Each structure stands twice: as C-alpha cells, then as structure tokens.
Chains A and B, each alone.
Chain A
Amino acid sequence: MIVEEIMNDAPYTLAPSNTVLEALKLMREKKVRHLPVVDEEQHVLGVITERDIKEVLPSSLQDEPNSPVFHAKVEDIMVKDPLIAHPLDFVEEVALTFYESKVGCLPIVSGGKLVGIVTTTDLLYTYIELTGATEPGSKIDIRVSDTPGILFEITKIFHQHHANVQSVLVYPDSENTQNKILSIRVKTLNPLVMIEDLRKEGFDVLWPNLPGVSL
C-alpha cells in the first residue's frame, strides 16, 4: 500500500505570518493537532503542532489570549524544514519514519508542493483495517517453522474445507527465532475440523489456548 491511499489530500494549512493564536483556533475548530506552514505556491516551510505551541507557553496559567506568545508568528516557533514524504512512498516506510524520528505527522510533497498529510492516527487506522475482521470469521494461531512452502501447506488445508481465508498475519516467535507464528482469520463458525486436520499434519495450533491453560 502506498501513502497516497491513506493520506489526507486536503489538509488545513497556515501562512508563516499567521499568529500562534490563529494556529490554535484552527486546530481546535478542525480538530487537528498538526498544521503544515506553506507559502503562496504551496511550498512547505515548516510544521507546527499543538505540542510545539504548548511547549512555548510559559505555563498553563498563561493559557489566555493576552499572553504575548499568542501573538508571535508561527514561523518563529514552527519546525523548519520538516521531514516529508512522497505520495508513492510505501506505508511501511512511513511507519518506520514515525517510529524512528518520533514525529507525529509528515507533510506529503510532490513536485515541490504540499499535496497531503499523514499522521500517526491515519497509520493506526490502517493497522486496524489490516488486522480487524470485516467479515464473520474465526481466528486460529499456528506456530510453524520458518521455512519456504509452509504457508502453502497450511492454506491447502483451508482450501480442502472450502474455507475463505480473510487475513494472515505473520509474527516472530518470541521463544524461538527458527519459528514464526501465523495468525489466520477464516470465514467459518466451525473451525474444529480444520484444526483437527492441521494437527494431523503435525502443526502446532496455539489457539484455542491461553498461557497456562490447556483445553
């Protein structure tokens, strides 16, 4: 998946001459916490976040419109030359950037101009879609050895039962790096027959199970 598919392509923006008060008002009205600062040609000059503003306020007692900070220009407190991303970047690359740089948003720039914005919230939603079931299904967790062809061996069993696989997630096994944990959602109310077949083929089915409990 690429950034273009998850970005907000009509972000609210500020001009460098806008005041901090105007920035705060816009953030509250539109319920956003990050605003790109752009010039007339939509070139990204900086980013201002709710957190940046709170940091320059002397204390919460001063949180009133007569504090001089509110009349400062955003260009004076914005993050200049912020990290940016491209609409064709992969979502997972962007995720890594968020994780490593600890920023909360990335302006998306193409042809030198602002074309969108992606926030950590957008990314989280994408993750929810990825793991969440939108179709009725049962979940089965299986520990497998990390070898080629293993996924085929497993999906073959679901195929034999005419069961639709809705999602497959692969996790590292915290106990043994030779293994992987497959978490599979299958469109069925009765996964028992498939679990039985998986076990017959020698697969280690972890769920239905819980730490310290045997069923």
Chain B
Amino acid sequence: MKKAVFVYSPEQLGYKFSDTHPFNHKRLTLTMDLLKNIDALDDSDIVPARVATEEELLLAHDPKYIDIVKKAGHGELSEAQCESYGIGTEDTPIFENMHEASAQLVGGTLTAVDYVMEGKARHALNLGGGLHHGFRGRASGFCIYNDSTVAIRYLQEKYNARVLYVDTDAHHGDGVQWSFYEDPNVCTLSIHETGRYLFPGTGNITERGNGQGYGTSFNFPMDAFTEDESFLDIYKQSMREIFEFFKPDVVLTQNGADAHYFDPLTHLHGTMNIYREIPKLAHQLAHEYCDGKWIAVGGGGYDIWRVVPRAWAMLWLEMTDQTLPIGPLPQAWLDRWQPEAPVPLIPTWEDPSPLYEAIPRKAEIEEKNAQMLAKALHIIRNEKRD
C-alpha cells in the first residue's frame, strides 16, 4: 500500500472566477512546484482527479441548483437569474464551464476517498477541494459545490463509515456543519475566527447539533488577533478529546491556510508554525483511531505567494512521513516565481521573526479563548464524569 497519494488534474485549475478574484488555484501550481523542487513529490505519487457524476453531486445538492450552475456556466442565464442561488454575485461570479470545473474538484475528493477506503493508499490529499461554504441549493463564499459534504455522504453510503470532519480554515465550516447537523454518525469540528465580525457569522459554541445529532457538532470560535500558542492549544485539546469521544472510522480534514497573519481576508495572527503542527496531530490521531484512514482537502488561503505553498507543502510532507524542512526554500523556486509575485517572497520555511508587532491584549485574548475551549468541550467532559 502506498503511504499517500496526491490527487491532481490540470483541469482543477479551471475553477477560476477572474484574474482579480481572491480565490486563486494558481496556489496548486505553486505548491506542487515547491514540492517537486525539494524532491518531495514524484509523478508516481500523483493520481488524476475524476469528475463527480451528477448522481454523486445529488448526495449534497438540489437537482434544480445543479441545473442552474450548468446553465450559468454555458452562458444560458444572466446574473440576475441566478443571484438567488448565490451565483453571479461579487463573491461567486459566473465563469465559463463552472459546473464542469466544480464537479472536477468534487471528483478529486471522491478519488481521494476511494484510494483510502479501498486500501490503495493509507492517506490521500486533494488540495483542490475543501469548499466548505457550499449549501444544498446555493453557492456561498467562493464555493459552488461542497466537495466535503458529497464525500462524507459517499463515505456513508458506499463504505458505511463513521466520519469525523475537522476544519481548521479561519472561516467557520458552515456548509458541512449544516449538512450533518442532525446526523449522529458524522461529527464536525471547526476552529475559526469568531463570526462576530467575520464571514459567515456562524460557528458559535452553542451550535452543537440537533435532534439525534445533538452533541456531534463542535465549534471553537477564536478571537481576532489570536496567535499560534492559543490556536494550537485549542486545536490539540479539542482534537484529542473529540477523537476519543467520537471514535471515527475515518477522518477528513479541511486544511484552509487563511489563519495566517498575512491572509488579507481574516484577522487571526497565525504563523507557519501552526501549519507544521496541524497535520502532525491529524496524522498521529488518524493512525491511533482510524487505522490511518486520513483524507485531506485544501480550503481557503488568500495569500497564495507567501503562505499557501509553504503551508500545503508541509501537509504533504507530513502525510508521506518526510522530515518537515527548515531553513531556506529552494532558490530555483524563488527565482521562478518572484518576478510574478506582487510581494517579496519569504525565502525560508519559517516566517521572519518577529512577523508582526506585539499584540497589546494578548493575555486577555488567550484567557478568553481558554474559557471558550472549556465551554465548548464541557458537554463531553461532563459525560465522562458520569
């Protein structure tokens, strides 16, 4: 069995709204080129992303909505006609062949699922996926189809699996959470910047699931300006306790890389350090609890030059048991991309130190986050005591 496969097809780059839109899959090219430059990704590791079938998309989406996406992408509908479906908006504009490109991202995640569940690889990565804001009948926040929701339903139907979904994107994983809000066999864990100011506004600790699914949704909203230590505290404690509580068969992690200080759309103050630690623990717990069954997808990440390639390279390196690098980035990579980058590239795997000015209310923010963590985990800590 292979340690891990890297799912990718050049067609995934077709998911493109415009040249100026913040969601830019050029980050896939930048990440792969970085990995190839350090000889960490071989062509034999790469498997092509298949295209999700319409039947598979229906696991998570309304037929009417799929039809709208198809027509919009073939120039058959105006912006005004699709706006109520969240398409043709400033966040999610219409682009050519948007249905095909979106189905290709979903297919990539399904390819990853099949490799892991059929025992062809211990782990699998589809960086093109992770579109966690997509709803059943509506696009939202740059996301058309929700590949994680489709993949989890697919895991349930085809493999009868109990799935833990872990979302470390700086935005709340609302689309996936609402899909499984009443399902006791899917547990969602989202760590994000508080929705008090940030899109989508949800992800409060009080969102715990409903009906049969009560107690299988977990949210950890962190204050703006949260730094590495506090972020990792929350991540490590919540992961351990929720794995132990839920005992999943398989874990699907969404690895948005927008909690970094440089990210233009969020207000967290993470550094490259969190992107070294996040995959380490996910990897370890997947082996401890799920016989290694770990599927990982991408997600947000809007500083595609300085943050995403280094962060996502670390994810693949961890998955394939390669030593996480320190020191300078390959000069060839820097030379190749610097002319195109609008900002000076970071020349090392680590961020410069200090990366930003000290946060005046650091202690209070940490204290508030710690309180939040205790409240959010209270429900399972209590159960243990009984």
Contacts and interface: CB of A to CB of B under 8 A. Distances in A.
B199 A188 contact: yes
Interface in A150-177: 161-163
Interface string A125-164: 0000000110111110000000000000000000001110
A34 interface: no
A32 to B, nearest CB: 22
A136 B90 contact: no
Given A163-B90, A190-B265, A136 B140 contact: yes
A161 B140 CA distance: 16
A215 B22 CA distance: 19
Interface stretch (A8-16, A42-50, A69-77, A204-212): A204-212
Contact of A207 (B195, B197, B360): B197
B225 A190 contact: no
A193 interface: yes
Interface string B356-384: 00011100000000000000000000000
Chain A interface category by residue count: 20 to 34
Contacts of B267: 208, 215
Contacts of A188: 89-91, 199
A185 interface: yes
A193 B196 contact: no
B90 A192 contact: no
A162 B89 contact: yes
B292 to A, nearest CB: 34
Q: Specify the main secondary structure of chain B where it touches its partner.
A: loop
B352 interface: no
Chain B interface category by residue count: 20 to 34
A13 B264 CA distance: 57
A189 B265 contact: yes
A213 interface: yes
Q: Specify the main secondary structure of chain A where it touches its partner.
A: loop
B90 A137 contact: no
B134 to A, nearest CB: 11
Contacts of A207: 197
Interface string B196-220: 1111111000000000000000000
A98 to B, nearest CB: 25
B359 A189 contact: no
B142 interface: yes
B290 interface: no
Find the residue from B140, B141, B199, B202 having the highest chain A CB count within 10 A. Answer: B199
B198 A138 contact: yes
B123 interface: no
Nearest to A193: B90
Contacts of B283: none
A191 B225 CA distance: 18
A193 B264 CA distance: 11
B171 interface: yes
Contacts of A211: 360-361
B133 A136 contact: yes
B90 A213 contact: no
Nearest to A183: B197
A189 B200 CA distance: 7
A197 B154 CA distance: 44
Find the residue from B90, B133, B202 having the highest chain A CB count within 10 A. Answer: B90
Given A189-B171, A189-B199, A210-B224, A136 B141 contact: yes
Interface in B134-193: 140-142, 171, 174
B201 A136 contact: yes
A163 B141 CA distance: 12
B361 A192 contact: no
B201 A189 contact: no
Given A136-B174, A189-B142, A189-B265, A212 B201 contact: no
A138 B199 contact: yes
A50 B216 CA distance: 36
Given A161-B90, A210-B361, A185 B201 contact: yes
B265 A210 contact: no
Closest 8 CB pairs of A and B: A136-B200, A133-B201, A189-B141, A212-B360, A139-B197, A189-B199, A138-B199, A161-B90
Interface of A: 132-133, 135-139, 161-163, 185, 187-193, 207-208, 210-213, 215
Interface of B: 22, 83, 89-91, 133, 140-142, 171, 174, 195-202, 224-225, 264-265, 267, 359-361
Given A189-B141, A208-B197, 19 more contacts: A136-B141, A136-B200, A139-B196, A139-B197, A161-B90, A162-B83, A187-B89, A188-B199, A189-B140, A189-B200, A191-B199, A192-B264, A193-B90, A207-B197, A208-B267, A210-B224, A211-B360, A212-B360, A213-B359
26 contacts: A133-B201, A133-B202, A136-B133, A136-B140, A136-B199, A136-B202, A139-B201, A162-B90, A163-B89, A188-B91, A189-B140, A189-B141, A189-B200, A190-B22, A190-B91, A192-B22, A192-B264, A192-B265, A207-B197, A210-B224, A210-B225, A210-B361, A211-B360, A212-B361, A213-B359, A213-B361
